[in-house]
Every structure is written in structure tokens, then in C-alpha cells.
Structure 1
Amino acid sequence: MKKCVFLDRDGVLNQDTEGYLFRTEDLIIPEGTVEALRQMKEAGYMLIVITNQAGIAKGLYKKEDVVKCHEFLQEKCGNLLDDLYFCPHHPDYTSNSLLRKPDSLMLEKAMAKYAIDPAQSWMIGDRERDVQAGHKAGVRTIRIAQEETPSKAEWLTSSLWEASSVVVA
């Protein structure tokens, strides 16, 4: 079975912005991101993006915009990402969905598709809903946040680079 690092997008792979990020010109990749991804890839981890994209349900942008941002991110990150899973739903606009974090269906689908071992895998996110989704899927979790942030994650780090060092240690 394979090992994987599941990665939230906004606030982990790119700078989080106010509102919804759906244009490539607004996508800013923080320093150290590419190196962190490369470090985890070289350690034998698959890298899969797991992201809620409620702006689709709200009619602010389309699925194609998410795919364009992912392709742009891939290009800027040296094609290190193995796949993208996104949830286009929001309970206030569409039916409730188990895909939407804090539920874990996106992770579970990826685990089934790629024969991923949860015991060897991680979820890295910047919100507690990422941590909850990771725990529901049976993977270890890292939350990127300020040191004093309350969290149920196994690790709290200040950056993806720091998180990658925890994963490969």
C-alpha cells in the first residue's frame, strides 16, 4: 500500500485570501512550498489536494476555474501533485455532502483509488475541519496555524515547510 500526504489548498499550498480564490492571477505560492512538496515526494509520499470549493455552489465561479488554478499550481510546483479532489457543495446552497470537509469522503475516495494506507498517511490543513476530516479517515494530522491555536491535530506548525519536516522525520 502507498503512503500519502493529503493537502488542503488555500492557506497551505497558496496564500489564503479574503473571499474566494478562483483566478490564477490571485494565486500566490508561499516561499518554501515547492521545496516542502519535493521533500515529501522524495520521501515516497503521494501528494493529493483535498479542498472545499463552496464558491461553485454559490455561483461565484465554475469547476473549470478550480481546475485552471490546480493546473497553474501544478506548473508552478513542478508537477509534484498527484491528484486533486474538490467539493463543489455548500449546505446553504446545495444538499449536504459527505465530500465536504470536515467529512472525509474525498480522502476515502483517494485511498480506495490509489490503495493508500491511512496508517502511513497525513492530512495537512490550516483549519480544524481539515483535522477532523483527517481523523475521520484515520490519518495523522498537521495543522498550519499560530502556536497558541487550539487544535486536535497531532502537530501544529507555522508553515508547509515545517510540516513537511515532521512528515519525513
Structure 2
Amino acid sequence: MTQLVILDRDGVINRDSDDYVKSLDEFLPYPQAIEAIARLSQAGWTVAVATNQSGIARGYFDVATLEAMHAKMQELVNAAGGEIVYTAYCPHGPDDGCCCRKPLPGLLERTRDALGLETLEGSWMVGDSLRDLQAGDAVGCQSALVRTGKGRRTELKGTGLDDAFIFDDLAAFTDWLLGHKAAS
């Protein structure tokens, strides 16, 4: 069985912004997140990313800019000894009526299909917002909320987090997951 961790991007891997991450200069990865992804990969976990990117629909940046950010993310992870095997993104706005924008499960279903998996049950969805966790819940993922990005705000609201594990950041989640799996 594939051990899969699906990560939201903004607020989990890199600094988030209420004004959107619109350029390569604004894409500022958390160093501990890059290292955590590498550690997950080295421990045999498959790592994927599922991210809403409505800034495309809003005209704040284009697909080429998004792809440059994702290439940079992959380059940093590879340099640290890890791999992101698949990145799914939703370019739509909240009123576009798509099936991929989280909290809908479309991005996670696309990830499942791209990786040739039958199910995502037993996989992890790590995010900083309730919509990330809801998307994971819809396909049977276990949920982890990180306090980086919008995570602390999400935690303070307290709704919808009953089954979620909560960690300070992706590194803390990784420490726990790798220690927890080693002990079991």
C-alpha cells in the first residue's frame, strides 16, 4: 500500500499572503517544510501537493508563473533529497462551479488517479484551512492542520476540527508521523 501525504501549498510549504502569492519573488518556502518533505520522501512516503490557485482566475498571475513557482518548489525539495511526485492545482475562482476547488475533493481525486491508486483511505491531507481538511475527509484521508499560514486562525475558529491532528508546522507533523509509524 502506498503511504501518501498530500500537502496544501500556501501556508504549509510556503508563506501565505492574503494578497495571494503572485510571483516567484513572493514564493517564500519555509525551510523546515522543504526539509520535512525530504524526510518524508526518504522514509518511503509519497508526497503530493493539492492547491487552490484562484489567483489565476482573478488575473493576478498566469499558469506560466504558477509553473515557475512549482518548479522552484520541486528544485528545493530535490536539492534537500526529497521528491514531490505530483502537484494538482485548481485555477478556478470560488464562483466558477468547478469540481476541483477545495473543499470539494476533485484535486485529491485527480491525485489519486494520477498515482494509480484505488483509494486515498489511510493517506494524509495536511493543510492550514478547514477547506483542506474537508477535501481530505471527503476521500477518506486522515487530516492534519498546521498552525503556519492561516492554520492558527483556523484552529481558533475550532469548527470542523474534531478528527484533525494539529501541529505547529509541517516539520512537527513529519516528526510525529515518522516517530508514530516507527513505533507501530
Instruction: Provide the TM-score with structure 2 as the length reference.
Output: 0.84
Per-residue deviation, 1:88: 0.6
What SS is found at the alignment partner of 2:101? coil
Per-residue deviation, 1:153: 4.4
What SS is found at the alignment partner of 1:19? coil
Q: Is the aligned partner of 1:36 residue 2:75?
A: no
The sequence identity of aligned pairs, in percent, is 29
Paired letter, 2:139: A
Superposition pairs for residues 1-169 of structure 1, below 5 Å?
1-78=1-78, 80-92=83-95, 95-116=96-117, 117-145=119-147, 146=152, 149=156, 150=158, 151-168=161-178, 169=180
Moved more, 143-152 or 70-79: 143-152
Paired letter, 1:51: T
User: Are the counterparts in 2 of residues 143 and 153 from structure 1 also a CA contact under 8 Å?
Assistant: no
Instruction: Provide the TM-score with structure 1 as the length reference.
Output: 0.91
Runs of 4+ in 1 over 6 A off after TM superposition: none
Moved more, 56-65 or 7-16: 56-65
What SS is found at the alignment partner of 1:77? helix
CA distance in 1, matches of 2:163, 2:129: 10
Per-residue deviation, 1:137: 1.1
User: Are the counterparts in 2 of residues 48 and 81 from structure 1 also a CA contact under 8 Å?
Assistant: yes
Per-residue deviation, 1:18: 2.9
Paired letter, 1:100: R
Deviations 1:119-161 (A, max 9, x none): 3310000000000000001110101123953124420111000
User: Are the counterparts in 1 of residues 5 and 47 from structure 2 also a CA contact under 8 Å?
Assistant: yes
Distance 1:153 1:59, change over 3 A: farther
* Equivalences, count: 167
What SS is found at the alignment partner of 2:171? helix
What SS is found at the alignment partner of 2:87? strand
CA distance in 2, matches of 1:107, 1:34: 21
CA distance in 1, matches of 2:93, 2:63: 14
Distance 1:118 1:131, change over 3 A: same
User: Are the counterparts in 1 of residues 23 and 61 from structure 2 also a CA contact under 8 Å?
Assistant: no
